[in-house]
Structure 1
Amino acid sequence: MSPVFFAFAVGLGQGLLHAVGPDHCAAMATLNTLGTGRRRAALLTALRFAFGHAAVLGTVAAVCLLAGVGLSEAFERWAEVFGGGVLVALAVTALLFPNSLRHGHPHLPGHTVEPHHHVHEKVSTAAGALMAVSGVRSLLLALPPLLMGGSMSLGAWSYLPGFALGILLGMGAVGLIFAEGMSRLGAGLATWVHRAIAVGSGALGMFWIGSRL
């Protein structure tokens, strides 16, 4: 097996595992409670979240490796506290302002109203990017293939695109499964499920914060 394919395959597998972490699944499910609830919309939400997540992880990891910069345990701990805060913020929005990203909010006369789907797109991508901060150090520690023989070979660098693809595939699958399950529920039951998801996400975020402080 060539070094390029091996590093890519390892990255793909670890990206898939990273994608289905409980915090990521909770965040994507909560974001989908703020959307339109359609299958296509749920998939796109997951993919936007994954894109923001993979872009930040890959960029920061590459910069740190090229610059020879490491990240401390203290950075990781506070980054995870930050990620828990993002999850809590999404949960609060879903519980208290469930229509905020579906129908927008009132504007003064003459004020341009941004279409709600554009707002939701930005929030999904931003949430994925913000939650990526907590995983940067773990990614750096999982990159020994990039340092084979004490130098960064071209083959080893294929790990990062493999990892990014794994995130996109894993999170896309989670989005499809969520959308398919919600599509089988009645409107009334779906509302209660949305609330339960938001409460669960908020509880997970609080636990994440508390366990790191």
Structure 2
Amino acid sequence: MAPILLAFLLGLSQGLLHALGPDHCAAMATLGTLGGGRRRVAIMTALRFALGHAAMLGGIAAVCLVAGVGLSETFERWAEVFGGAVLVALAVTALLFPHSLDHGHPHLPGHDREPHEHVHTVSTAAGAFMAVSGVRSLLIALPPLLVGGSMSLSAWTYLPGFALGILIGMGAVGLLFAEGLSRANARLNLWIQRGVALGSGALGLFWIGSRLV
């Protein structure tokens, strides 16, 4: 198999695994509940999260590749603390302000009541912020860095594969979560939202505590 294709497929598989991390799933689930149980909104939220995540990861990794630099364990530890804080912030928002991202103004006849564009902005930003904690792992995994070829073409095929894997993985999670929400009634959705938010906040606190010990 050609090295370029191998690097792309390796990046794709690593991106899929990365997308299914517990912190990412918790964040996407929390954001998904803010869409009011709408299938299309939950899927778009997951995709926006994935786009922000992939763009931040790829951007920082590309800069490091060009500059030929790596990141320290200290950076990774504090980046993971930051990721945990993002989870806690999302959980608090979902618990205390469950409708803060919904429309707050009337619609004209014939227009659907969809959550505000803010939910997409927040999901993109959350995906980007949480990507910071995974940059060092991505750089370590990049085959070109392991052999010292920072400008190798394989590096640039690995990164698109990794980004595509993230989009597919997070999109699939969003689809499954949206399907579940669409089958539940409004009362059950409220309890699901609270449970997801509490779980996400607990995971974020655990994430922070485990990195500070």
TM-score, normalization by structure 2:
0.91
Measure, in 2, the Cα distance between the counterparts of 1:181 and 1:58: 31
Measure, in 1, the Cα distance between the counterparts of 2:48 and 2:149: 35
Structure 1 alignment gaps of length 5 or more = 106-114
CA deviations over 1:181-205 (Å, ceiling 9, x no partner): 1112122111111100000000000
Would you say 1:124 and 2:123 are equivalent positions?
yes
How big is the shift at 1:151? 5.4
Deviates more, 1:69-78 or 1:142-151: 142-151
Within 5 Å, which residues of 2 pair with 1:1-213?
1-104=1-104, 116-145=115-144, 148=147, 150=149, 152-213=151-212
Structure 2 alignment gaps of length 5 or more = 106-113
8 A contact 1:3–1:156 mirrored in 2: no
1:179 to 1:71, Cα distance in 2 relative to 1, 3 A: same
8 A contact 1:12–1:166 mirrored in 2: yes
Percent identity reads 76
8 A contact 1:61–1:136 mirrored in 2: yes
Structure 1 stretches of at least 4 aligned residues deviating more than 4 Å after TM superposition: 146-149
How big is the shift at 1:148? 4.5
How big is the shift at 1:147? 5.4
Measure, in 1, the Cα distance between the counterparts of 2:39 and 2:78: 35
SS of equivalent residue, structure 2 residue 37: coil
Aligned residues between the structures: 204
Measure, in 1, the Cα distance between the counterparts of 2:182 and 2:206: 30
Measure, in 1, the Cα distance between the counterparts of 2:146 and 2:78: 27
CA deviations over 1:100-154 (Å, ceiling 9, x no partner): 001349xxxxxxxxx9521111101000000000000010010024555745322
Cα root mean square deviation, aligned: 1.6
